[in-house]
Amino acid sequence: MHPLDNVIWQALTTRQTMFAESCGQARRFMPEVTALGGFCEPAPEGYEALARLLGDLGTVAVFLDEPYQARSGWKFVVGAPLLQMVCENGSSSATSRHEPDSKLVELGDANSTEMIELTALTKPGPFGKRTHELGTYLGIRREGKLVAMAGERMKVPGWTEVSAVCTHPAHTGHGYARILMSEVMQRIRSRGETPMLHVREDNVRAIELYERLGFKKRVRLHFAVLRKSASERASQRELRT
């Protein structure tokens, strides 16, 4: 298996086990970190283990090789085709030149609230109050306000994901995403790792930027947010009594 196949499961069973909650053949990130979860295989046993793991907190985001097929005990909330892209060429085609006023700042615990506010506005993907603990997150400020950011999310042996790339709508057109991504990618490579990322297939503008930075499409996946149905939650409570 390639390290990027079934990437959520691989992250939670290798480099990011400290953020994992486990039940049989299922794993998920702690809910306050991110909504992502997965299983060893998308078989009935995997879904059953994931249902037990969720308990009453019954929503999870998964990456699937094929479009989600309806199954008993689960409700499909939202989803979309997803591209997994990798940058294996050793250097991006765009440099990390900074504009004179685009100083990068490292983001951490003290910035969690404004990071959540920016991602809620721009919707780059699931982002929780502890997502920033998964790796380095960098931002750009204007008049004291966080207007753009990017960072690291999933990590598997040899690879780190560039994630949460977003810019406030009032501050687009300045190349902030390119600047931030180039710096994040440089830091990933400095550790001897290769950058990768995930992007909705219909996000054409973002894909064009990523390709200019040297990313190439590896595989097509399917993002799905799933919620345990009321009947499934009831049956789980019965099993606990």
Q: Which residues are within 8 A (CB) of 217 and not within 5 positions of it... i.e. 6 or more apart? A: 83, 84, 85
Q: Is the pLDDT of residue 128 over 50?
A: yes
Tell me: do 144 and 198 sit in the same domain: yes
Q: Is 82 exposed, middle or buried (0-12, 13-18, 19+ CB in 10 A)?
A: buried
Q: What is the mean pLDDT of the chain?
A: 91
Q: Which residues are within 8 A (CB) of 192 and not within 5 positions of it... i.e. 6 or more apart? A: 158
Tell me: do 178 and 214 sit in the same domain: yes
Q: Is the pLDDT of residue 94 over 50?
A: no
Q: Is the pLDDT of residue 101 over 60?
A: no
- pLDDT for position 197: 98
Tell me: do 69 and 102 sit in the same domain: no
pLDDT in tens, 205-235: 999 999 999 999 999 999 999 999 865 545 5
CATH number at residue 110: 3.40.630.30
Reading phi first (left if > 0) and then psi (alpha if -120 to 50, else beta), residue 114 is in alpha
Domain that holds residue 101: 85-218
- Return the ∠ at Cα 223 (arms to 35 and 69), rounded to 5°: 110
- Bridge partners (DSSP) listed for residue 195: 160
